[in-house]
Structure 1
Amino acid sequence: MSRGGALPDLGVGLGYRSQLHNRILEHATEIDWLEIITDGYIHDVRAREQLEPLRERFPLVPHGLEMSVGSKDPLDEDYVRAVAAVADAVDAPWVSDHLSFTRDHGVEVGSLTPVHRTYDHARRIAGKAQRVQEMLGRPFLLENITYYVDLPGELSEAEMLSEVMRHCDCGILLDLNNVAVNAANHGFDPYRFLDALPLERVQQVHVAGNSAAQSQEGFQFDAHDAEVSDEVMQLLAYLLLRQDVKGILLERDESFPEDFSEIVTDLRRARRIAAREELR
């Protein structure tokens, strides 16, 4: 990544959710940075202004849902400009979104949908991602998603992500919980998956956990509703032995614990792994 060397080392952070607002401030010394969901602030200037107290305490990184770089539609440059305004407002070191599509041929899909894995489409996605990065004026990272139907294509998931990176100088946001869920559902080795990626492009990592209720007849679902599993933490340790990253981010989206120490425990464990105090 051409500008990767300029990115700050943020440490271990937490995905900002309004339900956790007060407890985040109460435990600010345990949290190095926050990731905000970009789309919650694009059309709501008042909500953006409410980020100011957080910005005074934490670096803020926008993470989006609707860039839809995997669509065959033209890039929505008005949307990119709106994302850029949020990033400018919080002085974000980078911006991220998903390697997926959420709309196609003008139709809203309503979910993060896997892309067709072909060489031609990889080049199209790379061109869009590069344009997004240029318009943002800061590094743009693409995240691997969870998918429940494995679409046939010329490339594996790891090959597709690698091929996109080969044609742009954007970075990767590597979601290790998504890797673990996909590996379980589609029968591949998550460590071999990591080995197949251009790890030097990984700038940020997501870790999360799923409760036992998110598994049905051996099929797993991605919910971010529990403590981070040992499996995901072991993947983090494996990755960090091979590649340093600029930020590790804990996601919790549902079943927020009454006792915030559950989240603090995950943050501290990730920090120990980053410090090589826990190694695989």
Structure 2
Amino acid sequence: MDMIEYLAAHFAHDPDFLADIHASTGGLPSTLHSYEYMMGSVERPPAQVVDRLQRMAAISDCRWIGEHIGMVGTADTYAGTFLQPFGTDEQTEQFIVNLRAAAATSVTPFIVENQPQVFAQIGPRGVCRQVADVATGADCGILLSLSNIIISDSFFGMDREKEIAAIPLDRVWQIHLPVPSASELGDPGLARLRDDTRWAYATLEQLAAEPDFRPAAIILEVQAAGTPSRATPEEIKDRLIWAREMMQVKEPAVGGLR
């Protein structure tokens, strides 16, 4: 593989352990996946949290920090880590202000990810429209999660193509792609998982044909919600080769692993 995504929460109690893990990969470039910047919250994270995240980025050859934009709220009240933002003008502006401030002192850029929709839309923007407005306003990249669109559809019957159409493809730096094991895909009791996975693969192939779509990384989610067992190393390798060929990458630069 060419890149690895580290989940910041895994190293919260021992950030320096990330240096050992990173060394064991041979120093692969990485991205740090986080929510602790609380980009949608009025109250900012404590300085020690920011320092810890920045240290993780510095010791792992991190090319960007992928932030969930689901930590939202006021100084007194938060709506949890993985809940979608509210879609309001006020909330959108709060994201933009916080992202710009965080980027000004960060060792690496930020990108923002579309959240799963788990409750009814409140403001005028859907999840992907708000991500697009935040990314444009803060001048940052987007992490387009096909996994989260699938999750949203399981809650609300979302129009997947309409959501993706709201994303400016030239701002997509990274993709999250679910990769279940072949045994799961062949299980008669997991027809929904099979259909969803086929949709994700076909959608990525369609996006790859768009001239504006040139993500720097496709991260394969082998430990994601909805994938009870991991794909085998051979299955992962085959999917990495598929991703490189699809994006017409002659030198390793696209395939990554979470």
TM-score by length of 1: 0.73
Instruction: From the superposition, tell whether residues 110 and 164 of structure 1 become closer, same or farther in structure 2 (CA, over 3 Å).
Output: closer
Residue number in structure 2 paired with 1:58: 28
The percent identity for this pair of structures is 21
What code does the residue aligned with 1:248 have? I
Deviates more, 1:112-121 or 1:75-84: 75-84
Q: Which one is further off, 198-207 or 186-195?
A: 186-195
Q: Does 1:41 align with 2:41?
A: no
Q: Residue 275 of structure 1 is aligned with which of 238, 248, 258?
A: 248
Matches within 5 A, 1:70-89: 70-89=40-59
Which amino acid in structure 2 is aligned with residue 176 of structure 1? L
Counterpart Cα distance in 2 of 1:185 and 1:163: 24
Measure how far apart 1:155 and its partner are: 1.5
Match for 1:132: what amino acid?
Answer: A
3-state SS of paired residue (1:131): helix
Residue pair 2:112, 2:135 contacting (<8 A) in 1 also: no
Give the whole-Å Cα distance in 2 for the aligned partners of 1:67 and 1:199: 25
Q: CA deviation at 1:112?
A: 1.0
Q: Which structure 2 residue ranges, 5 or more long, are not aligned?
A: 250-258
What is residue 128 of structure 1 aligned with on the other side?
Answer: 98
Verify: 1:148 aligned to 2:114, yes or no: no
**Which of the numbers 160, 169, 189 marks the counterpart of 1:199?**
169
Instruction: Look up the SS of the partner of 1:56 in the other structure.
Output: coil
Supply the distance in 2 between the matched residues of 1:256 and 1:184 (Cα, whole angstroms): 20
Which is further off, 267-276 or 85-94?
Answer: 267-276
Partner of 1:260 in structure 2?
A: 233
Tell me, in whole angstroms, the C-alpha distance in 1 between the residues paired with 2:148 and 2:179.
10
Q: Which amino acid counterpart does residue 239 of structure 2 have in structure 1?
A: D
- Residue 137 (structure 1) aligned to one of 86, 107, 111: 107
Give the letter aligned to residue 229 of structure 1. Answer: T
C-alpha distance in 2 between matches for 1:236 and 1:181: 17
1:239 and 2:207 aligned: yes
Q: How does 1:67-216 map to 2 (within 5 A)?
A: 67-101=37-71, 105=75, 111-209=81-179
CA drift of 1:181 comes to 3.0
1:209 CA displacement? 4.5
1:230 and 2:198 equivalent?
A: yes
Shift of 1:266: 2.5
Structure 1 counterpart of 2:63, one-letter code: P
Q: Distance in 2 between matches of 1:110 and 1:195?
A: 27
Deviation at 1:250, TM superposition (A): 0.3
Question: Which residue, out of 32, 43, 50, partners 2:2?
Answer: 32
The residue aligned with 1:23 is none
The two structures have a TM-score, normalised by structure 2, of: 0.79
Change (3 A) 1:123 1:151: same
- Distance, in Å, in 1 between the alignment partners of 2:164 and 2:88 is 20
- Answer yes or no: is the 8 Å Cα contact 1:118–1:154 preserved in 2: yes
Separation (CA, whole Å) in 1 of partners of 2:194 and 2:179: 5
Please give the per-residue CA displacement for 1:71-111, whole angstroms capped at 9, x wherever unaligned: 23334443222211111112211111101117764567654
Unmatched runs of 5 consecutive residues or more in structure 1: 1-30
